[in-house]
Structure 1
Amino acid sequence: MLTRALPGLLIFLVVTLFGIYAADLLGMFIVKLGLLPEGSASPVSGIFVAILLGIIIWNIIGLSTIFLEGVQFSVKYALRAGIILLGLRLSLTEALKLGAWGLPLIIACISCGLVVTLYFTKKLNQSNRLGTLIACGTGICGVTAIMAVSPVVKARDNEISYAVANITIFGLVGMLFYPYLANLFFANNPIKAGLFLGTAIHDTAQVTGAALIFSQMYDMEKAVDVATVTKLTRNLFIIAVIQLVSYFFFKSEGKKEEGNEYELPKWYKLIPLFVIGFLVLSFIRTIGDVTVTNTGAAFGFLDPSTWTEFYNSWSSFGSKYMLGLAMAGVGSSTNFKVFKGLGIKPFYIGLIAALSVGSVSLLFVSLFGHLIVV
């Protein structure tokens, strides 16, 4: 299969690399406009650009049948490999730094994102698959959550593309606007500001960008640390949420799939192998960090700089190249007419969800933020 998929994979690799390059250029342009501080990472996802390029290739240029095997391979295998490697980005010890009060705030915001989005998805009579993708992207960790959940709920390519675009747009708006809102409500309190930015904005890069804006404008570097820890802790919930949304999705939609009766799978069958792989690598990252702290060497033989370079390079490879490859494949199998046919209602759902999560975060941080010490 790999041999037959090779032509398509090479094309998508080029698309992925160009998407990453284009996203970096857009980030530099935003910095030059003064919307982000110097040295900030691009708030535009290379994955999002790869999806757009894939859609253009399929709908404008056209894709020969010789590349179709590559589409299937990248969407199925590259996607799962990328998600597994993301586990190296998350150390479980980071969650402990927030203390007992930080986790309820994170859980409240995640719950809000899930409940509000799925409620309005049903009220507006939209696809449960699309609503689930937008819910997880809004509540947990943006594009990463969408890609992690999509194979579990068997999302269609156009639904994945729409959800990613939705999350990217509202995440960017939040990144540019929320630092000023944080200062309005939490002036001179970097912990509260960091908690708000880390729970109200969708994607990790966008959270970091917003925290840097706040830090450099109001001279509060502590906000960057708090926002980052909060966001990474929030990302960890992807493991539990995948199981939760899988259960409810199969319970509501799986009983009747294409007109046929369908029995709800056993709970252990709702745990995809890539989630287990993600969790295993997250434990490896945690053990490495703990041994660095306690002995000065990861696992007793890797010096801290080597260990940091190891997990950064592999997690970056997963997030940039594997997931980029997968999303280029998703875009290249998305019919623009069908994508357009999803209409404006899912956009409204994403807007309502984003505003709801931001409001809950603002409320909870205002009421309980003083109890959290980082």
Structure 2
Amino acid sequence: MVADTLEAIPGFLALCLGALVARGLSGVVGVNELLLAIGLGVLATNVVGIPDRLRPGTATHGVWLAAGIVLLGASLTVEPVLETGSTVLLLLLGTVLATVATVEVIARNVAGLPERLGSLLAAGAGICGVSAVVAVGGAVRARETQIAYAAGVVLLVDAITIVVYPIVGSLLDLPANVFGVWAGVSMLSTGPVVAVGFAHSEAAGQWATLTKLTRNALIGVVALGYATYYARREADGTVSPRVLWANVPTFVLGFLALVALASLGAFSPGQQASISNAVDWLFLLAFVGLGTEIRLDDLRRTGIRPALVVFATIVLVSALSLSVALAVL
């Protein structure tokens, strides 16, 4: 074990260097740091080439990904769910179900994507962006290339919606509560939701944040649900509770345990901030490593279909959720 650890050190240091570069470049060029981390890994493996001595260390990206997912639970509580009004909660649940179902149907029956890739795109679009992609990706044991591709699609959609939503809100002169709830139920990642919410107004920012955090709380349920689904599929639908339990990834249980502890107030605001910072760095390490697993030939074979699936779904769901929000709020 000591020998394996020593063998992994050079590659791990390479991941650390990639994470630092991604964080630094993000502040300079204004591009999401996780997208840059993936890009650096892709460039390293397809242009420069990864030396064999670094491979044991870069292959540890799954460890950092699982650790980040577990710690992510410390920043989520069930309190937002309890604070959200019943009307908003119903709109949120309906939007999540519509998004997940639409992506799954289009991905499988129209675009012909691999099932697990479709599930990653559905989770990312329906719940909370990259965090849901990596959580579900680990839960269903998706390939590294599928996780990285789905995360890239999510980040691309984030970049577009953070520009489009404020324009639509201004053109339609949306009230603060309508705009905030609309952004919270239909945009993908938390950061862009909060940004566009407070860019509209203080009240819209509060509604957007509360709605999005409520939606984020569903990530554990969705990850566990997908893990159960694929475990049953692989066992031809005849799987005992014991076998099912054995197939549920340990990190998902760890994530749910930390959500429970956070909901009970086990972590102070300072501790949550420190844990959140650790999650950011763990995801950076993991995404640099994920990038090193991507071959450009694989991406060419996949094509732009996954991105088109998510774009089509977001346009449809955004329009429907805005119509409902205007009618009921």
TM-score computed with the length of structure 1 as normaliser: 0.81
1:354-365 equivalences in 2 (<5 Å): 354-365=314-325
Aligned to 1:151: 138
Q: Displacement of 1:334 after TM fit?
A: 1.2
User: 1:315-339 CA deviation, whole Å, 9 max, x = no partner?
Assistant: 2211x11111111111011111112
Q: 1:268 to 1:227 in 2, by over 3 A?
A: same
The 8 Å contact of residues 135 and 353 in structure 1, kept in 2 or not, is answered as no
- Pairing partner for 1:5 from 3, 8, 12: 8
Aligned to 1:312: 273
The 8 Å contact of residues 110 and 140 in structure 1, kept in 2 or not, is answered as yes
Aligned to 1:326: 286
> RMSD of the alignment, in Å?
2.0
Q: State the secondary structure of the residue aligned to 1:202.
A: coil
Q: Is 1:63 matched up with 2:50? A: yes
State how many pairs are aligned: 323
Opposite residue 153 of structure 2, the aligned amino acid is N
The 8 Å contact of residues 180 and 214 in structure 1, kept in 2 or not, is answered as no
- Structure 2's unaligned 5+ residue stretches are none
The 8 Å contact of residues 186 and 193 in structure 1, kept in 2 or not, is answered as no
Opposite residue 254 of structure 2, the aligned amino acid is G
- Structure 1's unaligned 5+ residue stretches are 28-43, 216-220, 256-260, 290-297, 299-306
Q: Displacement of 1:122 after TM fit?
A: 1.4
Q: Is 1:84 matched up with 2:78? A: no
Q: Give distance in 2, aligned partners of 1:182 and 1:265.
A: 50
Opposite residue 209 of structure 2, the aligned amino acid is T
Q: 1:101 to 1:269 in 2, by over 3 A?
A: farther
User: 1:234-287 CA deviation, whole Å, 9 max, x = no partner?
Assistant: 1110111112222333445x25xxxxx796464434532212222222222222
Opposite residue 23 of structure 1, the aligned amino acid is S
User: 1:205-255 CA deviation, whole Å, 9 max, x = no partner?
Assistant: 11122113222xxxxx11111111111111110111112222333445x25
My pick for the range that moved more, 91-100 or 226-235, is 91-100
Aligned to 1:53: 40
The 8 Å contact of residues 182 and 197 in structure 1, kept in 2 or not, is answered as no
The 8 Å contact of residues 134 and 146 in structure 1, kept in 2 or not, is answered as yes
Opposite residue 276 of structure 1, the aligned amino acid is L
Q: Is 1:190 matched up with 2:176? A: yes
Q: Give distance in 2, aligned partners of 1:210 and 1:67.
A: 41
Aligned to 2:91: 105
User: Which structure has the highest helix share of the two?
Assistant: 2
Opposite residue 322 of structure 1, the aligned amino acid is L
Aligned to 1:231: 212
Q: Is 1:180 matched up with 2:157? A: no
The 8 Å contact of residues 243 and 271 in structure 1, kept in 2 or not, is answered as yes
The 8 Å contact of residues 19 and 53 in structure 1, kept in 2 or not, is answered as yes
Q: Give distance in 1, aligned partners of 2:252 and 2:229.
A: 18
Q: State the secondary structure of the residue aligned to 1:150.
A: helix
The percent identity for this pair of structures is 27
Q: Displacement of 1:186 after TM fit?
A: 5.4
Q: State the secondary structure of the residue aligned to 1:357.
A: helix
Q: State the secondary structure of the residue aligned to 2:303.
A: coil
Aligned to 1:208: 194
Q: State the secondary structure of the residue aligned to 1:154.
A: coil
